[in-house]
């Protein structure tokens, strides 16, 4: 939880403001596309190496801690760009963001594997629902702090960004300390445990349930990133929205997530992750399309409320379903492969969006609205075409959508877990 809180504070300070930071350096639309895509391309390349590195080290934690520390240090050169580099500033920002993302790619799959071993499967939804609620609050507060600094230093945005990135460095260092204090669950699988190779996992994408799930999630992520990096550009450059209104709009998604993510987690524990994914995946394509209706701050806030409700459940259950579906001896490799394919999807989606958007027809005088419409249609086609071939991997009761959304929940999983604790010593 220390890692979650401090790490979220770090990325809450910077996450929504990397694009505005680039815009102060006179970044073009194409460069914004590269800023969103290139770090994730590098992430794809290194994610596939993480399982082998952690297996050779004999410990997942031995890889997680130093890579997260490096990620913390990478905020410092981002901070110094305006003071040191007087040309090609955007490209230096892309470079340092890529290095930070590489570190994140190396730590992500070992961390997921370790957390999956620490948590009993019947409580993962509740735990991460609670955890995500806390991190949503922290992320919201820290992002408002960043927006307030930018508004306060309107005439000196470089000073504001200096404070923001310094705070992010401090937060990620505390996060590193929290990770260093965690106990890796034992016994760890022996080194000679048979494991599937990454090429074999890739070759079974169309023939296995987990493979079809990865395909669905990756293609939806690709479609999502055709337009996702450009909402900020549309608001700041075309609508001329102030930093405070920009942050209020972004914050609505976090606010609604605070209230619904634990709610989704309880429902995922009861009815299965796939049921929640089915409901939320059908909602996601319409988020992009709603941007065409109106450009008022109130309407954009309403869109973010809808988006927060859908994405809170979807993001929670994507990871939980992957943990359930992946065999324990190969979980790190499946998570790494999934992360690499997602990084490739983000890269391709952002590159296509950034290079396609200036050549599109205009809707209400903006080619960004055309991009949002196209991305929404692609998302809908992905959901309708790929989701139906995925099956739930846990034994869960049949649950109607109306009962899941509006019915009561029996705390059966919690009661069973507490009963088991009386007979078995829990993990540290």
| Contact (CB, 8 A) for 271 and 397 | yes
pLDDT value at residue 400:
73
pLDDT value at residue 128:
83
pLDDT value at residue 301:
95
> How far apart, in whole angstroms, are the C-alpha atoms of residue 11 and residue 38?
18
SS3 366: strand
Q: 0.85 cut: is pTM over it?
A: no
| Contact (CB, 8 A) for 360 and 371 | yes
Look at residues 383, 349, 353, 348 and name the one whose alpha carbon lies nearest to residue 371: 353
Average pLDDT, integer, range 174-201: 75
> What Rg, from alpha-carbon coordinates, does the chain have?
21
**194 has pLDDT over 70:** no
**427 has pLDDT over 50:** no
| Contact (CB, 8 A) for 345 and 318 | no
> How far apart, in whole angstroms, are the C-alpha atoms of residue 194 and residue 330?
9
pLDDT value at residue 418:
54
Helices (H), 326-400: 331-356, 367-386
Nearest 5°: the CA angle 267, 271, 276 is: 65
State the DSSP H helix or E strand holding residue 142, giving kind and residue range, or none if neither. helix 124-152
| Contact (CB, 8 A) for 128 and 265 | yes
Look at residues 281, 289, 286 and name the one whose alpha carbon lies nearest to residue 264: 281
As a whole-number percent, the residues of the chain with pLDDT over 90 amount to 36
Q: Give per-residue pLDDT as tens, 260-307.
A: 988 888 888 888 889 999 999 999 999 999 999 999 999 999 999 999
Q: Give per-residue pLDDT as tens, 51-101.
A: 777 777 777 888 899 999 999 999 999 999 999 988 899 999 999 999 998
129 pLDDT band, cuts 50/70/90, is confident
> How far apart, in whole angstroms, are the C-alpha atoms of residue 276 and residue 284?
12
**185 has pLDDT over 70:** yes
When mean pLDDT is compared across 30-34, 306-310, 363-367, the lowest value belongs to 30-34
List Cβ neighbours of 193 (8 Å cut-off, separation of 6 or more).
Answer: 329
pLDDT value at residue 417:
47
pLDDT value at residue 95:
93
Look at residues 111, 163, 141, 161 and name the one whose alpha carbon lies nearest to residue 3: 111
pLDDT value at residue 186:
67
Q: What are phi and psi of 425, to 5 degrees?
A: -70, 125
Residue 184 is classified by DSSP as: P
pLDDT value at residue 358:
83
**5 has pLDDT over 90:** yes
> How far apart, in whole angstroms, are the C-alpha atoms of residue 328 and residue 118?
12
Q: pLDDT averaged over the chain?
A: 85
> How far apart, in whole angstroms, are the C-alpha atoms of residue 38 and residue 115?
28
CA atoms within a 13 Å half-sphere pointing along the CA-CB vector of 288? 25
Rounded to an integer, what is the distance from CA 320 to the centroid of its chain? 13
| Contact (CB, 8 A) for 139 and 10 | no
**107 has pLDDT over 80:** yes
Token digits for 12? 């809450």
Q: What are phi and psi of 300, to 5 degrees?
A: -65, -35
> How far apart, in whole angstroms, are the C-alpha atoms of residue 44 and residue 101?
10
Q: Give per-residue pLDDT as tens, 312-339.
A: 999 999 988 988 888 877 777 888 888 8
- Partners of 363 in the β-ladder: 366
2-183+198-391+410-419 belongs to CATH 2.60.120.380: no
Q: What are phi and psi of 375, to 5 degrees?
A: -60, -40
pLDDT value at residue 408:
53
Q: Give per-residue pLDDT as tens, 346-397.
A: 888 988 998 888 889 999 889 999 999 999 999 999 999 999 889 888 777 7
List Cβ neighbours of 55 (8 Å cut-off, separation of 6 or more).
Answer: 191, 195, 332
As a whole-number percent, the residues of the chain with pLDDT over 70 amount to 92
410 pLDDT band, cuts 50/70/90, is very low
> How far apart, in whole angstroms, are the C-alpha atoms of residue 15 and residue 24?
16
Residue 204 is classified by DSSP as: T
Token digits for 99? 């290095």
> How far apart, in whole angstroms, are the C-alpha atoms of residue 114 and residue 52?
15
Token digits for 19? 């694009």
> How far apart, in whole angstroms, are the C-alpha atoms of residue 13 and residue 164?
6
Matching residue, tokens 């961390």: 111
> How far apart, in whole angstroms, are the C-alpha atoms of residue 141 and residue 106?
28
């Amino acid at each position: 939880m220390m890692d979650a809180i401090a790490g979220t504070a770090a990325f809450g300070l910077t996450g929504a403001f990397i694009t505005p930071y680039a815009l102060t350096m006179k970044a073009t639309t194409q460069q914004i596309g590269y800023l969103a895509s290139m770090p994730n391309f590098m992430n794809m390349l290194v994610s596939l190496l993480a399982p082998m590195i952690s297996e050779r080290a004999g410990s997942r934690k031995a890889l997680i801690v130093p890579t997260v520390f490096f990620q913390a240090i990478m905020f410092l050169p981002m901070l110094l760009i305006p003071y040191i580099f007087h040309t090609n500033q955007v490209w230096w920002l892309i470079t340092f963001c890529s290095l930070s993302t590489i570190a994140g790619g190396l730590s992500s799959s070992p961390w997921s594997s370790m957390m999956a071993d620490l948590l009993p499967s019947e409580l993962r939804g509740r735990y991460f629902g609670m955890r995500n609620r806390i991190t949503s609050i922290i992320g919201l507060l820290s992002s408002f702090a960043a927006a307030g600094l930018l508004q306060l230093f309107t005439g000196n945005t470089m000073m504001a960004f200096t404070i923001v990135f310094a705070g992010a460095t401090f937060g990620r260092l505390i996060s590193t300390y929290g990770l260093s204090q965690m106990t890796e669950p034992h016994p760890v699988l022996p080194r000679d445990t048979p494991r599937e190779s990454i090429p074999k996992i890739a070759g079974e994408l169309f023939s296995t349930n987990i493979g079809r799930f990865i395909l669905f999630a990756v293609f939806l992520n690709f479609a999502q990133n055709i337009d996702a990096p450009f909402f900020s550009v549309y608001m700041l450059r075309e609508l001329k929205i102030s930093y405070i209104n920009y942050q209020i709009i972004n914050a609505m998604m976090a606010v609604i997530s605070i209230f619904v993510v634990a709610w989704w987690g309880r429902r995922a524990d009861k009815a299965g992750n796939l049921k929640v994914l089915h409901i939320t995946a059908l909602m996601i394509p319409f988020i992009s399309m709603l941007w065409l209706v109106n450009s008022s701050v109130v309407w954009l806030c309403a869109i973010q409320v809808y988006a927060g409700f859908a994405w809170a459940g979807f993001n929670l259950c994507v990871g939980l379903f992957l943990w359930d579906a992946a065999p324990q001896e190969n979980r790190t490799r499946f998570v790494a492969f999934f992360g690499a394919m997602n990084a490739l999807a983000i890269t391709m989606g952002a590159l296509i969006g950034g290079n396609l958007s200036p050549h599109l027809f205009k809707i209400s005088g903006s080619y960004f609205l055309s991009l949002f419409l196209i991305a929404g249609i692609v998302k809908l086609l992905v959901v309708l075409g790929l989701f139906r071939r995925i099956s739930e991997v846990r034994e869960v009761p049949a649950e109607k959508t109306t009962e899941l959304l509006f019915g009561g929940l029996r705390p059966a999983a919690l009661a069973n877990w507490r009963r088991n604790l009386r007979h078995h010593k829990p993990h540290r």
